Each structure stands twice: as structure tokens, then as C-alpha cells.
Amino acid sequence: MRSLRADFAALVGDLDRCGLGRGALEIARLAYPDLEPERYLARLEALADAARARIGAGMPPEDVALAVGDHLFGTCGFQGNTQDYYDPRNSFLNDVLDRRTGIPISLSVVFIEVTRRLGLPVEGVGFPGHFLVRVAGRRGPILLDPFFGGRPVGHDELVDRLRALHGGREVREIPPEAVRTARTPDILGRMLRNLLRAYLDRDDSPHALAAVDLLLVLIPDSPEDLRTRGFLYERLDCVTPAVADLRRYLELAPTAPAATDIRA
């Protein structure tokens, strides 16, 4: 069987050519090792071709984005999975395309990939707790929420969402980092973190290990991820790699609160 880690590392080294959709499909090999990416890339092409019929010549960018949203979330029936939000399948692009349901970031990947094929540059936005997309409108940038049908999200709603995330604490302004553009590696990393969390919640150590292993391809010296991988190796009775990861963690984060317990 092909090495997922080796293939993912090669892809990460050539993301400008391979693109977001291809990267997301490589992540899906965590659960579908024999997945054929070209089949699902063709599905994205077909979605873009169908959406193209809704776009008139000279249509403003925000209208193009809304037309794509109407096609994906209206005609095609893509929707946010509110029934089983933490199902790992919500993070696999092939499953999202097959089942037409997902979470904010995976639905955003579909939206970004379809609009890109139509020549409209749409950015991912790593808003805390809920991924969004951004399109450059005539009067300034517009944020859209693919999880809720691709509808626009205004300043006041963003403030309300931040307030809820902070336990009701007063929030008046949106910090720049909350609406910063998410690059392709950022998006893939966030998808992997969602999967890691889902697998840990299910006590699925083998799949959690595979997810954090790919995260460490993206961020090789992430102390948090080295510690997590070390503990997962330990849980799976893989002593040598567990010791190596935890030693590296101590080198990178010698004063971290967890370091004392690990040394003990």
C-alpha cells in the first residue's frame, strides 16, 4: 500500500500546483486508503460547470459567489451537518461530496474549489470556532458562511459569535487575527486538527495517530503535536517512537507545564 505520510509530504512540498482540493482528498486517505482523487476532482469540475450556467457576463464578484451558493446549497442540497457535527466523515472531502453534508471548513473547501474553477478568487477565513470564506465585493470584502447556506455574515454577527466563544464576555471589535486569510496549509492543518479531536473523542488511537502524523508533516516541530503523538505511541505500546517524540517535546518546550510530568 502506498505510504500516506510520504505521499502527503510530497503533496505539501508542491501545494501551489496540487491545490487545496487535492490536499483535502489526500487527508481522506486516512479512512479511505484506496481513494481515487481524480474521481472527486472531476466531481468538483462538474459542480463548477453546472454553476457556470447561473453566471451572467460581467456579474459582480459577490453576485457570482451568491449564485454559486444558491447552486451548491439550494439546487445541489449541500448542508451543514447539525445532527452529527463531530462525525469524522464531515472532514473527508470525498464523503462531503458523496453525502452533501459537512462542517464549516469542509463545505468551505467545496465552495472555494468550485469558485476557483469559475475564475473567482475566494479566500478561506480561519474564524475561531467556525470557518468562513471571503470574496472581494464591489464595496469591500464580504464574508460568507457555507455551513449556513453560503449566506453573508456581517460585523455584528461576527461580534456575537466571538462573544459566545468567550463565554458572553464583552467584545466590541473583531481582532485582525480572527478574520485573517487561511492559506492552503492552514486549511489542511485545521481539517487534520478536527479529525484528531474527533478520533481522540472516540478513543480511536490508530486513526488519531495517523492524523497527528500528517499534522507533523505540515508543522514538523510542533511541541503540542509531538507530545500528542508520543502519548499515542505509548498507548499503542510503541515505546521507541514514543520516547523519541517526548524527548523532542522536552527539548522544544522545557518549561511547559506538562514537561515536569513527562520527565517524571
Q: Is the pLDDT of residue 128 over 80?
A: yes
pLDDT band per the 50, 70, 90 thresholds, residue 1: very low
The structure's pTM equals 0.94
Q: Is the pLDDT of residue 263 over 90?
A: no
The mean pLDDT of 218-232, rounded to a whole number, is: 97
pLDDT digits (tens, 9 = 90+) for 7-40: 999 999 998 899 999 999 999 999 999 999 999 9
CB 12 within 8 A of CB 218: yes
CB 96 within 8 A of CB 107: yes
Q: How far apart are CA 116 and CA 120, in angstroms?
A: 5
- Domains of the chain by residue range: 4-182, 221-263
Q: Is the pLDDT of residue 209 over 90?
A: yes
Statement: 4-182 belongs to CATH 2.40.10: no
pLDDT band per the 50, 70, 90 thresholds, residue 214: very high
For residue 38, give the amino acid letter.
E
